[in-house]
A = this chain, B = another copy of it.
Amino acid sequence: MQRLDALTSLKRTFKRGEYLYRSGEPFHALYAIRNGFFKTQVLHEDGREQVTGFQMPGEIIGMDAICADAHTCDAVALEDSEICEIPFNLLEELSRDVPVLQRHLHKIMSREIVRDQGIMMLLGSMRAEERLAAFLLNLSQRFSARGYSPNAFLLRMTRQEIGSYLGLKLETVSRTFSQFQENGLLSVRVREVEIMDVLRLRSFVGHI
């Protein structure tokens, strides 16, 4: 337990817009988000960006960097945030002695793989409405798991970032929000979202 504490003793704060790490930087730690909100993104040479995820408190990021000892994406704070640094060789050392921790680490990495599968599904075979519905339901579920309202929350990201994540243009995201609002599925005021009809929103995902 003491060793586990030692693992997670280094905390750092980030202002909105600051980078936790950048693609190419050497790898030495994973990061647990204590509070705030991050996005991870991959940048193409030609300037195109792909947001690969939005992370909230309790989630671990940086696992992409293990395989080549360098980060393969950027992590940017979407609001003032605090993270806790987990030096990876200490984590590995400790997980050799504590099988439960070892399994836990493997599960976390596996969960990331499954999450990515879900995004592939979304990007590869869903239409705009389904993508946005899936996105909102996913946020809702994660807020709920953290003790916040599953029905009313604040978006920390821009339309452009949502669009990048969902493989859509920002205008399409905006239009789809408006359309959902017209249909009484939700009420949007820019960044404030309130889900009015979860069931109907759910019925969007997974049905043509």
Partner-binding segment picked from A103-111, A138-146, A186-194: A103-111
Instruction: Give Cα A125 to B111, complex, Å.
Output: 24
Asked if B123 contacts A167 (CB within 8 A), the reply is yes
Asked if B124 contacts A167 (CB within 8 A), the reply is yes
Q: Does A171 contact B (CB under 8 A)?
A: no
Partner pick for A120 among B63, B67, B119, B206, CB 8 A cutoff: B119
Asked if B96 contacts A92 (CB within 8 A), the reply is no
A1 contact set on B, CB distance < 8 A:
none
Q: How many residues of A contact B (CB 8 A)?
A: 47
Instruction: Give Cα A79 to B109, complex, Å.
Output: 30
Instruction: Give Cα A206 to B166, complex, Å.
Output: 19
* A43 → B minimal CB distance (Å): 9
* A106 → B minimal CB distance (Å): 5
Residues of A whose CB lies within 8 Å of any CB of B are 42, 44-46, 48-50, 52, 63-68, 72-73, 92, 95-97, 99, 102-103, 106-114, 116-117, 119-121, 123-125, 164-167, 206-208
